[in-house]
Amino acid sequence: MAPPPADLPFLLLLAIGSAAALWPQPQYISAAAEGGCPLSVQLRFAYAAGSAVAPGCEVLDQAFGRYWKLIWSHRGNREAEDSPCNVLSVNVTRPGCDGYPSLDSPENYRLTISNELMLLTADTVWGALRGLETFSQLTWKTDSGMLYINKTEVVDFPRFPHRGLLLDTSRHYLPLAAILETLDAMAYTKLNVFHWHIVDDPSFPYQSTLFPDLSQKGAYNPYTHVYTANDVRKVIEYARLRGIRVIPEFDTPGHTQSWGPGVPGLLTPCYLGSKPAGSYGPVNPIRNTTFKFMLEFFAEISTVFPDFYVHLGGDEVDFTCWRSNPEIRAFMQKMGFGQDYSKLESFYIQRLLNIVSSYGKGYVVWQEVFDNAVKVKPDTIIHVWKQDSGRYPNETARVTKAGYRTLLSAPWYLNEISYGQDWLRIYQVEPLAFQGSAEQKNLVIGGEACMWGEYVDVTNLSPRLWPRAGAVAERLWSNRTVRNLQDAYNRLADFRCTLLRRRIRAEPLFTGYCEHEYNSG
């Protein structure tokens, strides 16, 4: 996007008062400090003359209804009897409304608010969605309950194209409603990728059409704790209407204990000496039946999930069981791998990547795949997660030096909590704070906050996520110079109140109160 005009100075909103404090901070904003235009319930959203999309565009038609309700559904709002600020015109310059957002989808927009004109211009419907969110946050209420919006000019676009949130639905099953609520909150913070870590060792809740025994025998409950084909479609469409991509993760060869009951022979039998131990380890990488299953399973996944990318995991493979198995040991000698079981893992991963590539899919893998020197396509995305000793800047430097695009999650494991304002640590991370060239830093395409599920279920998911996930969202959206911690505290505390008003349970940053606390009724 072209640099902003010189008459649009960057302005930090330092106080919560007459004008709403925006989260995440736009790239450029000029806002009047006082006054404002009163709003009435006659406020409506309309397609501008000449817009490349028109009524019938489901993405924007539904968004117009959602945002009108978000602005007007709170008790105590008073409306103006007459107001010039009754229509926000939305101009989308590029055609296209029926598809899905992608890594390359532009999200830029420009928003102009005055007494004479309210205009939102965006290249795509996805940018228009981001502008509607900003517009909704710009509205503010007087002590008497009158709604206003101040004269404002915003030019905005994301710093990184991939701004994600991982939910783990295996260790604890998350009801569909909780996932949809999370997608709403992601849209409010301009996060745009739902990384669905849908299965893992404890349970296999994904209900496969081709292999129904996977969930029938691997879910906590095959009737109540599964995601049906209709559930998955609902999540994907709900996300699409909010400009959010859905990237599923099916992690192998490790983290696969729940796969075993539904696919006999898939996992490696472990041995005690010369006898089977009765337990199983990672996916068996030496059987042709393993790859026949993966070929068929990922054929289904490639049709169910429309995004170009699928996350294939590849992390934390325990070699103990492979070492104990005499067939595996014989295969190692035959292949000349010696005692280096990372080569066996690489053998498996390489074949799996070829399978997924054959369906026209790209893939994301955890950093162990890179660490073990697996041959991957040049457009592979490496996901950096290892947190020990804060080494992730070095990891990011190493991956990008090899020419691979990179996602960062290492400092953003939100399942980990501590007493006090730990959002500050999350917020102060700089994804590009590593030694490397400009070309390397251009390979960092963003990052993800991760919510692993060992100690998280539907009872504590939302308050543990929010507003802390918002700290990650601003770091990935806003300008690198947005660093003022007092300003960030003021805006995030205000945004937390916005989340409560929107029925998102969000924990407090510190002491204080919101005008409208969360009401479950």
Q: Which sequence positions are flagged as catalytic?
A: 316
CB atoms within 10 A of CB 264: 10
**DSSP letter at 248?**
E
Element at 130 (helix H, strand E):
helix 125-138
CB atoms within 10 A of CB 234: 15
If you write DSSP's letter for every residue of 394-461 in order, what string do you get? HHHHHHHHTT-EEEE-TT-BTT---SS-THHHHHT--TT-SS--HHHHHTEEEEEEEE--TT--TTTH
Q: Are 426 and 403 in contact (CB under 8 A)?
A: no
Q: Are 163 and 43 in contact (CB under 8 A)?
A: no
Give the count of alpha carbons within 13 A of 441, CB side only. 10
Contacts of 129 (CB under 8 A, 6+ apart): 59, 60, 63, 187, 242, 243
Q: Which has the closest alpha carbon to 320: 282, 349, 264, 285?
A: 282
Read off φ and ψ for residue 155, nearest 5 degrees. -120, 120
Block residue for tokens 């199983």: 280
End-to-end C-alpha distance for the chain, whole angstroms: 44
CB atoms within 10 A of CB 280: 19
Q: Which has the closest alpha carbon to 157: 117, 203, 124, 194?
A: 124
Q: Which has the closest alpha carbon to 312: 378, 359, 365, 360?
A: 365
- Whether omega before 467 lies within 30 degrees of 0, making that bond cis, reads yes
Angle formed at CA 22 by CA 502 and CA 37, multiple of 5 degrees? 90
Question: SS3 of 61, please?
Answer: helix
- Rounded to 10 degrees, the C-alpha dihedral 417/469/310/396 comes to -70
| Burial category of 249 from C-beta neighbours within 10 Å (exposed 0-12, middle 13-18, buried 19 and up) | buried
